[in-house]
Structure 1
Amino acid sequence: MIDGAVHGLLKFAFFYPLAMSLLWMSGAIIYFLRWERGAPARAKPQALASYPMVSLIVPCHNEGEHVRETIAHLAEQSWPDFEIIAVNDGSTDDTGQQLDQLMNEYPNLRVLHLSGNQGKAMGLRAATLAAKSEYLVCVDGDALLDRYATHWMMVHLMSSARVGAVTGNPRIRNRSTLLGKLQVGEFSCVIGLIKRAQRVYGRIFTVSGVITAFRKVALHDVGYWKTDMVTDDIDVSWRLQMRHWEIRFEPNALCWILMPETFKGLWRQRLRWAQGGSEVLLRYWPKLLHWRQRRMWVVALEYVTSLAWSYVMVATVLLWLLQGFFPLPPAMRVPTLLPQWNGVLLGLVCMLQFLVSLLIDRRYEKRVGRYYYWMIWYPIAFWMLTIATSVVALPKAMFKRRGTRARWTSPDRGVR
Structure 2
Amino acid sequence: MPDRLLAFLLLCLVAGAPFGAALLWTGNLILDFVFFYPLFMSGLWMFGGLYYWLHWERRWPWGPDVAPPELRGRPWVSILIPCHDEAEHGADTILSALNQRYPRVEVIAINDGSTDDTGAMLDQLAAAHPRLRVIHLARNQGKAMALRMGALAARGEYLVCIDGDAILERDTAAYLVAPMINHPRVGAVTGNPRVRTRSTLIGRVQVGEFSSIVGLIKRTQRIYGQVFTVSGVVAAFQRGALDRVGYWSLDMVTEDIDISWKLQRDHWSIFFEPRALCWILMPETLRGLWKQRLRWAQGGAEVFLKNLPGIRAWRHHRLWPMALEYCISTIWAFALALSLVLWLIGLSVTLPGHIRVETLMPPAFTGMALAAACLLQFCISVFIDHRYERGLFRSLYWVIWYPLAYWMISLFTTLCGFPKVMLRRRRARARWKSPDRGIKAPTS
| 1:325 pairs with 2:340 | no
Unaligned runs of 5+ residues in structure 2 are 1-21
Q: d(CA) in 2 for partners of 1:86 and 1:199?
A: 31
Secondary structure of the residue aligned to 2:25 is: helix
Once the 2 structures are TM-superposed, how far is the Cα of residue 347 of structure 1 from its aligned partner? 1.8
Residue among 11, 25, 35 paired with 2:56:
35
| 1:348 pairs with 2:369 | no
Q: d(CA) in 1 for partners of 2:430 and 2:164?
A: 18
* TM-score for both structures, normalised by structure 1: 0.98
Secondary structure of the residue aligned to 1:63 is: coil
Secondary structure of the residue aligned to 1:366 is: coil
Q: d(CA) in 1 for partners of 2:241 and 2:420?
A: 30
Alignment of 1:47-196 (within 5 A): 47-196=70-219
Once the 2 structures are TM-superposed, how far is the Cα of residue 382 of structure 1 from its aligned partner? 2.0
Secondary structure of the residue aligned to 2:59 is: coil
Q: Is the 8 A contact 1:86 1:109 kept in 2?
A: yes
Once the 2 structures are TM-superposed, how far is the Cα of residue 366 of structure 1 from its aligned partner? 2.6
Once the 2 structures are TM-superposed, how far is the Cα of residue 338 of structure 1 from its aligned partner? 2.3
Q: Is the 8 A contact 2:202 2:285 kept in 1?
A: yes
Tell me which amino acid in the other structure corresponds to 1:348: A
Residue among 399, 403, 415 paired with 1:375:
399
Q: Is the 8 A contact 1:170 1:257 kept in 2?
A: yes
Q: Is the 8 A contact 1:228 1:402 kept in 2?
A: no
User: Which residue of the partner structure matches residue 383 of structure 2?
Assistant: 359
Tell me which amino acid in the other structure corresponds to 1:214: F
Q: d(CA) in 2 for partners of 1:214 and 1:5?
A: 49
Once the 2 structures are TM-superposed, how far is the Cα of residue 2 of structure 1 from its aligned partner? 3.1
| 1:390 pairs with 2:411 | no
Q: Is the 8 A contact 2:339 2:357 kept in 1?
A: yes
Number of aligned pairs?
Answer: 416
* TM-score for both structures, normalised by structure 2: 0.92
Tell me which amino acid in the other structure corresponds to 2:57: E
Once the 2 structures are TM-superposed, how far is the Cα of residue 403 of structure 1 from its aligned partner? 3.8
Q: d(CA) in 2 for partners of 1:75 and 1:110?
A: 11
Q: Which moved more, 1:321-330 or 1:379-388?
A: 321-330
Once the 2 structures are TM-superposed, how far is the Cα of residue 350 of structure 1 from its aligned partner? 1.6
Q: Deviations over 1:370-401 (max 9, x none)?
A: 10121111011221111100111001111234
Secondary structure of the residue aligned to 2:354 is: helix
Q: Is the 8 A contact 1:156 1:166 kept in 2?
A: yes
Once the 2 structures are TM-superposed, how far is the Cα of residue 179 of structure 1 from its aligned partner? 0.5
Once the 2 structures are TM-superposed, how far is the Cα of residue 279 of structure 1 from its aligned partner? 0.4
Q: Is the 8 A contact 1:171 1:256 kept in 2?
A: yes
Q: Deviations over 1:85-139 (max 9, x none)?
A: 0000010001011111111111111111111110000000010011111110000
Q: d(CA) in 1 for partners of 2:263 and 2:423?
A: 25
Q: d(CA) in 1 for partners of 2:371 and 2:271?
A: 30
Q: d(CA) in 1 for partners of 2:46 and 2:339?
A: 27
Q: Is the 8 A contact 1:51 1:80 kept in 2?
A: no
CA 134–38 in structure 1, closer or farther in 2 if over 3 Å, else same:
closer
Q: Is the 8 A contact 2:28 2:357 kept in 1?
A: no
Once the 2 structures are TM-superposed, how far is the Cα of residue 5 of structure 1 from its aligned partner? 4.8
Q: Deviations over 1:21-67 (max 9, x none)?
A: 11111111110011111333233333343211010000000011011
Once the 2 structures are TM-superposed, how far is the Cα of residue 3 of structure 1 from its aligned partner? 6.0
Unaligned runs of 5+ residues in structure 1 are none
User: Which residue of the partner structure matches residue 256 of structure 1?
Assistant: 279
Tell me which amino acid in the other structure corresponds to 2:169: D
Tell me which amino acid in the other structure corresponds to 1:62: D
Q: Is the 8 A contact 2:110 2:134 kept in 1?
A: yes
Secondary structure of the residue aligned to 1:297 is: helix
User: Which residue of the partner structure matches residue 247 of structure 2?
Assistant: 224
| 1:10 pairs with 2:34 | no
Tell me which amino acid in the other structure corresponds to 1:9: I
Alignment of 1:390-409 (within 5 A): 390-409=414-433
Q: d(CA) in 1 for partners of 2:226 and 2:385?
A: 21
Secondary structure of the residue aligned to 2:391 is: helix
Secondary structure of the residue aligned to 1:330 is: coil
Q: Is the 8 A contact 2:79 2:107 kept in 1?
A: yes
Q: Is the 8 A contact 2:26 2:353 kept in 1?
A: no
Q: Deviations over 1:342-377 (max 9, x none)?
A: 122112112211111111000111311110121111
Once the 2 structures are TM-superposed, how far is the Cα of residue 145 of structure 1 from its aligned partner? 0.6
User: Which residue of the partner structure matches residue 212 of structure 1?
Assistant: 235
Identity %: 54
| 1:297 pairs with 2:320 | yes
Q: Which moved more, 1:242-251 or 1:317-326?
A: 317-326
Q: Is the 8 A contact 1:240 1:246 kept in 2?
A: yes
Tell me which amino acid in the other structure corresponds to 1:15: F
Tell me which amino acid in the other structure corresponds to 1:345: A
Q: Is the 8 A contact 2:72 2:181 kept in 1?
A: no
Alignment of 1:231-270 (within 5 A): 231-270=254-293
